[in-house]
Amino acid sequence: MAAIINSAVPLAARSLSSRATTERVPGCTGVRAAPRSRATLRVRAEAAAGGVGNIREQAARRVPLEKNSLFNAKYTPFNKGDSGEEYSLDEVIYRSKNGGLLDVEHDMEALAIYPPEYWKALFDERVGKTVWPYGSGVWSKKEWVLPGISDDDIVSMFEGNSNLFWAERYGRENLKMSDLWVKQCGNSHTGSFKDLGMTALVSQVNRMRKMGKPLAAVGCASTGDTSAALSAYAASADIPSIVFLPADKISLAQLVQPIANGSLVLSIDTDFDGCMRLIREVTAELPIYLANSLNSLRLEGQKTAAIEILQQFNWEVPDYVIIPGGNLGNVYAFFKGFKMCKDLGLVDSMPRMVVAQAHNANPLYRAYKNGFENFEAVKAEPTFASAIQIGDPVSIDRAIYALKETNGIVEEATEEELMDAAAEADLTGMFNCPHTGVALAALKKLREAQTIGPDDRVVVVSTAHGLKFAQSKVAYHAGEIEGIVGKYANPPVSVPEDFGKVMDILSQRLKQ
């Protein structure tokens, strides 16, 4: 077994069983390498001096994984049955022959050759290190993401490894809960969970361009976060990027990110669904690679957040995971991450999944209320949770499948409920985006209905950083949002430069 493991996995990431030599590999506490030679010392000296020994070039000197790997992945139709239809990941294809969604299917039999404890040790050993590219939260699980890609083709900003925050005070005081956690996926390079998917997609595009595929650019329609992630990762790899944004429907912070990273930004007088229709038509005519979650490569990176949650809980499974839902790809991504861990024996159960939608863009919630007997797209109305302002989600079939498989729940939140929930949680030390507010409002309703109990372990997925939505938070606290009272508003107090008046205000506040 040790011989198989060592041939399949790069030296710097081998399991704790490989302990025959004398020197520790940098960044891997349980893995040892051969004693240093003069050549090794010279390479490290060159690295310290900024020479040929940078982390990418160190990775290139290792045996390339794809030449020795037992693992592979391919496109197959989503929920395919026995169709036999399949495609290489190096093909430019987004839908199956009958127009359905595609999925990335891994060779689970090959992955299962390795016992669960091997995968746990491997993932734990890699996390947070500077060994290229395995310190990334996504690429630390490379064999489960894109096993055939060369390390040198990977485009990474060491994304992932985000904080799993114990919301102790908020849970205790506001929800009477003892085991509430917030997975802060917005603590990432561009401020949202989209980085997890974009590193996988742009890496594959980088690989295909090097192979000579005629891909002039990569493009997406976006409600703000996808465009930010795409533009940053494409810029890092020197790949042109094009983004379609709905005019006047995203925050200033979301707009400036793709502009700053050099994307061609088209501000289109429509909503996200209109932008999505246009980008699909354009990518069918021009050599522009589609980067929306219709492309299942993104979900391969995003699923690692689910694996990471289990890893952070020492491979214990939470009872519920609550995910804000718009285009719904992330719902299936989380399901897929949990499912792979269960199928490969790392855990023995799966959490019950909850999707939280804004009332103003709630097609999945409506379908859930009718027992999923039918689905109808809606015209999404404006919502402060702008990234999920989507009335015709691409991944509707994927999300419904995930919910049915986990006995899942769908809940909704009004604009007042989502803004109040975000503000209430902020008062306990968080700084939430409106989408996290949707998830927190859904949690509050499920607690009130006693669907979720006081001792249940619950993870709320925070999809973006609150700083990207500072405008809406300022408006909330200033009382400038029509129809919303602002139950937890905390506006600044204007006071003249007068000691007595300052003391009066402080005395009144301290008495409270």
Which residues have a Cβ under 8 Å from the Cβ of 285 and sit 6 or more positions away? none
Residue 31: predicted pLDDT: 39
Structural domain boundaries enclosing 380: 57-193+296-477
Q: List the structure tokens of 209.
A: 């361009």
pLDDT in tens, 326-351: 999 999 999 999 999 999 999 999 99
In whole angstroms, give the CA distance from residue 368 to residue 400: 9
Residue 249 backbone zone (phi > 0: left; psi -120 to 50: alpha; other: beta)? alpha
Q: How many residues does the chain have?
A: 512
With DSSP H G I counted as helix, E B as strand and the rest as coil, what are the percentages for the chain, rounded to 5?
A: 45, 15, 45
Tell me the average confidence (pLDDT) per consecutive run of 10 residues in the chain, 512 residues long: 41 35 38 41 44 63 52 92 88 94 97 97 93 96 97 97 98 98 97 97 98 97 90 98 90 87 94 91 95 92 99 98 97 99 99 99 98 96 94 96 98 99 98 98 99 99 96 96 96 96 94 80
Q: Give 305-332 as a DSSP string.
A: HHHHHHHHTTSPPPSEEEEE-SS-HHHH
pLDDT value at residue 65: 44
How far is it, in rounded angstroms, from Cα 204 to Cα 154?
A: 8
What CA–CA distance (Å, rounded) separates 163 from 142? 20
Can you tell me whether residue 182 is helix, strand or coil? strand
Q: What are the distances in angstroms from CA 245 to CA 227, 279, 446? A: 8, 10, 34
β pairing state of 180-184 and 458-462:
parallel
| C-alpha span between 73 and 111 (Å, rounded) | 11
Rounded distance between C-alpha atoms, residue 381 and residue 388, angstroms = 11
- Residue 308 falls inside a structural domain: yes
Does any domain span residue 21?
no
Contact between 316 and 80 (Cβ < 8 Å): no
State the Rg of the chain over Cα. 24
Q: Would you state the pLDDT for residue 56?
A: 67
Distance (Å, rounded) from C-alpha 12 to C-alpha 60? Answer: 12
Measured in whole angstroms, the distance separating CA 458 from the mean position of its chain's CA atoms is 18
Give a yes or no: residue 501 inside a domain.
no
Chain-centre distance of CA 193, in angstroms?
A: 3
**408, amino acid identity:** G
Q: Please count the structural domains in the chain.
A: 1
- Give the DSSP H/E element, type plus range, for residue 219: strand 217-221
Residues 73-109 have pLDDT tens digits of 999 999 877 778 999 999 999 999 999 999 999 999 9
Whole-angstrom distance, CA of residue 320 vs CA of residue 409: 10
Burial 465-484 (b: 16+ CB within 10 A, else e): bbebbeebbebbbeeebeeb
- In this structure, the dihedral spanned by the alpha carbons of residues 324, 330, 333 and 337, taken in order and rounded to 10 degrees, is -40
User: Does 260 reside within a domain?
Assistant: no
Phi–psi pair at 127, nearest 5 degrees: -60, 130
CA distances from 185 to 94, 122, 315, 403, 441 (A): 26, 22, 19, 21, 18
Q: CATH number, domain at 166?
A: 3.40.50.1100
Is 406 part of a structural domain of the chain? yes
Domain assignment present for residue 226? The answer is no
Tally Cβ neighbours within 10 Å of residue 145: 26
Instruction: Report the Cα–Cα distance between both ends of the chain, in Å, rounded.
Output: 66
Residue 273 within any structural domain of the chain: no
Distance CA 227, CA 223 (A): 8
Residue 456 within any structural domain of the chain: yes
Peptide bond into 133 cis (omega under 30): yes
